[in-house]
Structure 1
Amino acid sequence: MSETLSNSLPGATRPDYGTAIVGTGFGGLAMAIKLREDGQNDFVIIERGSSVGGTWRDNQYPGAACDVPSHLYSFSFAPKSDWSRVYPTQPELHAYLRKVADDHQLLPNIQFNSTLTGAAFDEQNQLWRIEVSSAGVKRTFTARALVLANGGLAEPKLPDVPGVEKFAGKTFHSSQWDHGFDLTGKRVAVIGTGASAIQIVPQIAPKAAQLDVYQRTPNWIIPRPDRPYSERTKALFAKLPLLRLAYRAFIYWGHEARVFGLVLNPGFMKLFQKIAERHIDRQVADPAMKAKVTPDYLIGCRRILISNDWYPAVTRPNVSLVTEGIREIREHSVVDGNGVERPVDCLIFATGFYATENPIGSIIQGRGDVTLASEWANGEEAYLGTLVKKFPNLFLIVGPNTGVGHTSMVFIIESQVAMIRRLLADLRNSGSGTLEVRSEVQDEFNRRLQAHMSTSVWSTGCKSWYKHRSGKITALWPGFTFSFRRQTEKVTARDYVLEKPVAVA
């Protein structure tokens, strides 16, 4: 942590901003919009990119799209009647978020190309000292409250493979796609077979001379019921808003029903698994390949993927699905666990993100110089994924245990934003300097949460990115999203402590 952010440094007690928001994805934009609705305009948004959009700006790989229907994966307060298809693509989602930011005149409040490099809570002055870097220049400002809306899947994770640094060919992560590099006729290796890979591989397989796909664990995949919306349907949604709302509700409740198998009774997932098994039977004929792509765990224990073209892609004659692991990477090749060496021109890491140990935790300091990373050494915890003890005036959007494996994260985000909005109003209206969750409230909440988690499908034995290295499941919410919203709405002053106001210099 930079010395300029030390909690012991003196400084004016009047902050530069009322609220500082990190990130311009769904969470950051929603927070800013709701603050403005409350008449609060003294906020700043820190954005490391050159435009808004978060993950839907960064992930521009071929075939990038969402696996939640467009009419549900969008703001309830910013509906769009003319979505092009059932499942939105990355370009359309990015354009949607840019339009939302423009419509709500947020751009003047955004500091683009500014990376958060540290934030420390100043206990004496009851404010956050925030450090950002832009074009190599660091600067510090203060804010009464800090909202981290940087996203749960924002920091790319690279594989820990011997020799990867020696590779002399082209390399990039799926979230940092190099569109200037032509894969046509190249020998390509894709490491990973998760949500990004199943979209990438079908797009690049026809171009590559040879494509080697390295799979550690197969995923259960179900058909993707995607189709374009007709012009007539778009016109009806625009003309009849109640019809569009009813359609959104239909999608919501259909997805919410999956909780019965994921959390309440994992045995129900065996019936759902039949759909995935039939999907394999219909698209994969070779018994050896069937064995490679069929998981040995109950569906839902890891993220369920949707695709119609993954199995046809990996069974192409120029594609090899390698399941023997990777022993090492050499200057121009990859050596698998059996010692087979395969020449490679381009190495693509479809290895996901830091979902449970986000690096941002190491640069956020609370009371007594405690960092989020140290506080979360045994697994991330928060109260309703939003408040963390020892971190006054800090609010998380998409914090610990807010992820959902069955529906739209936007519903969770809007629930958190509404909660934070009320808490910030309480902080202002009470004339207090700080708001902090009670330690016993957070501890009891997480005790009950993990008890619910223990009977879920995610606890049936598989390895997944849902789990912290300690084994605790820290990425997912164990229940219905309407239950999460109801709990955020019931947060009262009994759950947090308001400290005396600061004396403004």
Structure 2
Amino acid sequence: MAVDLEPLDQALETAHLPALSAALVHLTGETSWLRPEWRPTYTPLSRGETGVPEAEQAKMRAAAKAAITAYLTGKAPMAAIPSPEVLHQMMNFVAGADIPEGYGDFLTDELAIDGHSTKDPNWSTPELKAAARKLNVLVVGAGMSGLLAAIRLTQAGVPFEIVDKNPDVGGTWLENTYPGCRVDSSNHIYSYSFEPNHFWPQHFSTQPVLLDYFRGVAGRYDLKKKVRFETVVEEMAWDEARSVWKVRLKTPSGIEHVEANAVITAVGQLNRPRFPDIKGRESFRGPSFHSAEWRHDVDLTGKRVAVIGTGASAFQFVPEIVGKVASLSVFQRTPPWGFPVPHYHEDVPEGMNWLMEHVPFYDKWYRFWMFWMVTDGLLPMVTADPDWTGPTTAVSQLNLGFREMIAAAIAAQAPDRPDLVAKIIPTYPPGGKRALLDNGVWLDALKRDNVELVTDAISEVTASGIVTADGQARDFDVIIYGTGFHASKFLWPMKIKGRQGADLHETWAGDPRAYLGMTTPGFPNLFMIYGPNTNIVVNGSIVFFSECSVRYILGCLKLLAQTGAAAMEPKREVHDAFNIRVDEGNRLMAWGAPQVTSWYKNEAGRVTQNWPFALVDYWRATLAPDPKDFILTKSAELVE
């Protein structure tokens, strides 16, 4: 079918030219697209402005138009796959930096440049297919990670069932429906690598759009028939004699019991709302609710509203409700860092979508550029210098410069309100807590005449409102809690009993740990997605981590099938050595600094959430399980 070339000129005006140059190397086989004068020089946190003079950009667009036209009209076939050396040149060009050598194989796999990916299960032999059919896996959760696990299990031919507490798929994008809810990773990396959407309406899509995407994926793979909705896992216990998990489910029709050879938990980290421990919280007579459980039946029009918390959710919903309430008091304990992203609410240009759809590999290189710029490329800016003797508001000279840049961007939004700016610029290092994306609407909301930012601590909630530590009482009609989640309570409130009846939560004792965030000694065939120390801070996409984890978990199941083992669990020494390395890494990051407190840390001050290394390191560590890392058992005997 012929492609309409009329949008091409407009598309080229909106193109990310470095990504387009790399795509044209694929089309033509010519490395002349990587000219030094076209190589970008980026500014941190920019929209991707290349720094290339407009005259040179015009030359590039003209040459690109001719090459794309030749390809789409059938006059020029696609060239051969570039060599590893050329691929590395392309990486350096698109990133505008010298990418470490170790990224070559990662890129080839992540972008599936040769048409294949190690993420795809390869259970092709008759023996493996037969062994796969003997397995039975229970997946807990039908959100982004649970659906991904289901897709890969289907491809491997492994029987499975999904249970989810909700009435539909989507996980966090089904549950969180507060006004303004949207993703804070660009959609072009917050999507499955194998299921790109070339028609995202905005760079950072809203909750309904994201829910439609995941529902669409579930539909294309016909997954809903495998899900038992409104079903909660209450308890699971390992049967050592039979090497199965016995699982008690609470369903709409009552209690049921099922068994599985393996369990994959895909319940996320931020799925159980946390209310603050404030005196009198239950005494308030008006409506009060958590932002993750938004009360759409409560009309805020003309109401006196209190918002407790200034984290990610409040940052999004406060600007949405401020225009309808009579007054709004925002209670802030510590301000968030808002990284300047002017296009946070902007539409994706139509021409950009046209290129994604019609120019092969453009979407992949655009995804790579985003990956580098907002993940591993930012890592040095939040890495601590162990010899740092500067102010405690930073952890290194580079971090201090990063801080000054962001603080200046915030201050520039309110030159006439130094009092307000002083309250919203954090005193902790950038990267110490979850950073948010700022296009100016947060500060615009706080500057309104009907809004008050309260930084005094809350002493109690009364029947009519809130009293702060200075003794001032304020009356409200509605209280909204934007106070986060029980982040360190992994897999809570499920009861999980492993070998010899050991309780997982008692074993962890508030300090959850797992090997590669997925497996724990004493709990065979229990695999976690988005488990301990697999969160990311500098605005990458958790979809990437989930894809790595699911590939590794499928590798574990494959290992069971290949060896005939009934159970596997990590060796204690492997598990402990890994966690020591992670702890050492986290201590050298902004979020691990001793002066920083956040939900990344547990009550003892240990970072239980975050991955402190480059994302490519997690990719490499999860390509396939090493049998030497595990105890494999068959009929209670070690399998050599």
Among 285, 289, 304, the alignment partner of 2:420 is: 289
Q: Which residue is equivalent to 2:143?
A: 25
Q: For residues 197 and 378 of structure 1, what CA distance do their matches in structure 2 show? A: 27
Tell whether the 8 Å contact from 2:551 to 2:624 is kept in structure 1 after alignment.
no
Tell whether the 8 Å contact from 2:288 to 2:479 is kept in structure 1 after alignment.
yes
Among 174, 198, 211, the alignment partner of 1:57 is: 174
Pair member with larger Rg: 2
Q: For residues 150 and 70 of structure 1, what CA distance do their matches in structure 2 show? A: 21
Tell whether the 8 Å contact from 1:17 to 1:44 is kept in structure 2 after alignment.
no
Q: For residues 342 and 509 of structure 2, what CA distance do their matches in structure 1 show? A: 41
Q: Secondary structure at the match of 1:283?
A: coil
Quote the RMSD (CA, aligned, Å).
Answer: 1.7
Q: For residues 490 and 52 of structure 1, what CA distance do their matches in structure 2 show? A: 28
Tell whether the 8 Å contact from 1:222 to 1:307 is kept in structure 2 after alignment.
yes
Deviation track 1:337-393 (CA, whole Å, cap 9, x = no partner) reads 111111111111101111112362651111122222111115111000011111000
1:261-300 equivalence runs, <5 A: 261-263=381-383, 265=385, 266-267=395-396, 268-284=398-414, 285-300=416-431
Among 363, 368, 373, the alignment partner of 2:495 is: 363
Q: Secondary structure at the match of 1:86?
A: coil
Aligned residues: 488
TM-score, length of structure 1 as denominator length: 0.94
Q: Which residue is equivalent to 2:288?
A: 171
Indicate the structure whose relative CO is greater, using CA pairs within 8 Å and at least 6 residues apart.
1
1:43-442 equivalence runs, <5 A: 43-135=160-252, 137-226=254-343, 227-255=346-374, 256-263=376-383, 265=385, 266-267=395-396, 268-284=398-414, 285-308=416-439, 309-358=441-490, 360=492, 363-406=495-538, 407-442=540-575
Q: For residues 74 and 97 of structure 1, what CA distance do their matches in structure 2 show? A: 9
Q: Which residue is equivalent to 1:452?
A: 585
Residues 1:136 and 1:160: Cα distance change in structure 2 (over 3 Å): farther
Q: For residues 341 and 469 of structure 2, what CA distance do their matches in structure 1 show? A: 33
Q: For residues 358 and 440 of structure 1, what CA distance do their matches in structure 2 show? A: 22
Among 570, 590, 609, the alignment partner of 1:475 is: 609
- Higher mean C-alpha deviation, range 182-191 or range 354-363: 354-363
Tell whether the 8 Å contact from 2:234 to 2:493 is kept in structure 1 after alignment.
no
CA positional deviation for 1:55:
0.7
Q: For residues 459 and 135 of structure 2, what CA distance do their matches in structure 1 show? A: 51
CA positional deviation for 1:225:
3.3
Q: For residues 253 and 453 of structure 2, what CA distance do their matches in structure 1 show? A: 42
Q: For residues 209 and 58 of structure 1, what CA distance do their matches in structure 2 show? A: 28
Q: Secondary structure at the match of 1:277?
A: helix
CA positional deviation for 1:429:
2.3
- Higher mean C-alpha deviation, range 134-143 or range 108-117: 134-143
Identity %: 36
Tell whether the 8 Å contact from 1:326 to 1:335 is kept in structure 2 after alignment.
yes
Q: For residues 359 and 391 of structure 1, what CA distance do their matches in structure 2 show? A: 13
- Report runs of 4+ in structure 1 exceeding 6 Å deviation: none
Tell whether the 8 Å contact from 1:221 to 1:279 is kept in structure 2 after alignment.
no
Q: For residues 389 and 415 of structure 1, what CA distance do their matches in structure 2 show? A: 21
Deviation track 1:117-165 (CA, whole Å, cap 9, x = no partner) reads 1111111211111111122611111100001100011111111111011
- Higher mean C-alpha deviation, range 424-433 or range 317-326: 424-433
Deviation track 1:235-265 (CA, whole Å, cap 9, x = no partner) reads 2211123111111011001112111122365
Q: For residues 360 and 107 of structure 1, what CA distance do their matches in structure 2 show? A: 25
The one-letter amino acid of 2:430's match is I
Tell whether the 8 Å contact from 1:125 to 1:502 is kept in structure 2 after alignment.
no
Deviation track 1:177-208 (CA, whole Å, cap 9, x = no partner) reads 11121100011111100000000110011111
Runs of at least 5 residues in structure 2 that lack an aligned partner in the other structure? 1-132, 386-394
Q: For residues 34 and 426 of structure 1, what CA distance do their matches in structure 2 show? A: 15
Q: Which residue is equivalent to 1:8?
A: none
Q: Secondary structure at the match of 2:312?
A: coil
Q: Secondary structure at the match of 2:412?
A: helix
Q: Secondary structure at the match of 2:261?
A: strand
- Higher mean C-alpha deviation, range 360-369 or range 27-36: 360-369
Q: For residues 313 and 108 of structure 1, what CA distance do their matches in structure 2 show? A: 44
Q: For residues 49 and 241 of structure 1, what CA distance do their matches in structure 2 show? A: 38
- Higher mean C-alpha deviation, range 142-151 or range 85-94: 85-94
Deviation track 1:428-480 (CA, whole Å, cap 9, x = no partner) reads 22211111111110001111111111111112211111001111001000011
Tell whether the 8 Å contact from 2:267 to 2:491 is kept in structure 1 after alignment.
no
Runs of at least 5 residues in structure 1 that lack an aligned partner in the other structure? 1-14
TM-score, length of structure 2 as denominator length: 0.74
